[in-house]
Chains A and B, each alone.
Chain A
């Protein structure tokens, strides 16, 4: 039994006995959120993607504020349930909400997130340049996640999900997907 599983089992047992749950700090909750994968790109977690804006542990439960990557992302409900399910193992009430108070930007993806994306064949997003026209931003050279070449072309600014664009590498001649800069 891993430490995390054991922790969950103990917390669950205590909760079911009606005992007061043990002390829980924000770092522990954040670490647990780091285990919740993005349903569309499961190699990265909601933490890697920079979706977790606020975590609060209060007397009435755990409160989490998430930022949607895209307003119409169809995975939001799945993400909410996955986060709720993971955090319920702490034996407290869980409140997860999405908010637009801070707009999610691709710049929020962590360096670890970039590395995980690259390793699984996705080009991480280029840094945003808010003053530049979208076409200029999209024209920024994106390194091929397969061979590292920068001789790549944007094939389609729109891809299989809202957050992805499609590229082609002129060196290894492979198509690849990249995370949109937004």
Chain B
């Protein structure tokens, strides 16, 4: 299948949004390395972060193949406003409850998105997604176990989770913010359904767990069209953090 013209642009936007999501949540999680609340969690969250950065690298690789850019340059050499991760990931690391709530909301949404791509018509992405989906099952398991644990925890624990969901909930559906020209991706068979339909599928998928734990389901996104824009100060901080080495030593390689 040949990808060119408007389809290449639309595919590029899809890859950029997915890669930026994985990159940003990976770096946010890595902020816990060394200071997670339990030793076992220090290992787990660091491993999750490593997975996500690896997924981002693979997706930036596909994007670079499409645009001719160097994947590292795409990852690091943009101004904060040019990143296209969803606003769900723009709230800073926060406490452990924020981290778990963010991971749960993102991992469940990402799982639905991957399902909509795995049988897609562009082999490089469909093949990679098949592999990513296997790894992401472990992430969803981790988030689900912790969501359950925090929701059933004592007052202080549960109230922190509720506060985290109140903060993140309104931005949860931004994972499914409509992409520029996503109709082209659907026509070409790369993406199986519009983002709006995937959002409905995601809501249905998390509803049973939220009902069991008596947690409030996230509302609709306030302004879906801007769901991957206007990142704000917490992201600018993270951007400076993950660019520290790149800025200190331009062109450095491992």
Contact = CB atoms under 8 A, between A and B. Distances in A.
Interface size class of B (residues with CB under 8 A): 20 to 34
B141 A70 contact: no
Nearest to A180: B138
B50 A74 contact: yes
A135 B141 contact: yes
B127 A100 contact: yes
A155 B40 contact: yes
Interface in B28-61: 40, 43-44, 46-48, 50-55, 57-58
Interface residues of A, number: 27
A70 B142 CA distance: 17
B40 A103 contact: no
B44 A158 contact: yes
Contacts of A170: none
Contacts, number: 74
Given A70-B135, A71-B58, A135 B52 contact: no
B44 A157 contact: yes
Interface in A73-102: 73-74, 77, 99-101
Which of B40, B54, B57, B140 has the most chain A CB within a 10 Å cutoff?
Answer: B54
Interface string A52-79: 0000000000000000101111100100
Interface in A97-149: 99-101, 103-105, 133-135, 138
Contacts of A160: 43
B128 interface: yes
B245 interface: no
B132 interface: yes
Contacts of B58: 71-72
A10 interface: no
B55 A100 contact: no
Given A71-B54, A71-B55, A99-B127, A159 B43 contact: yes
Contacts of B57: 72
A32 interface: no
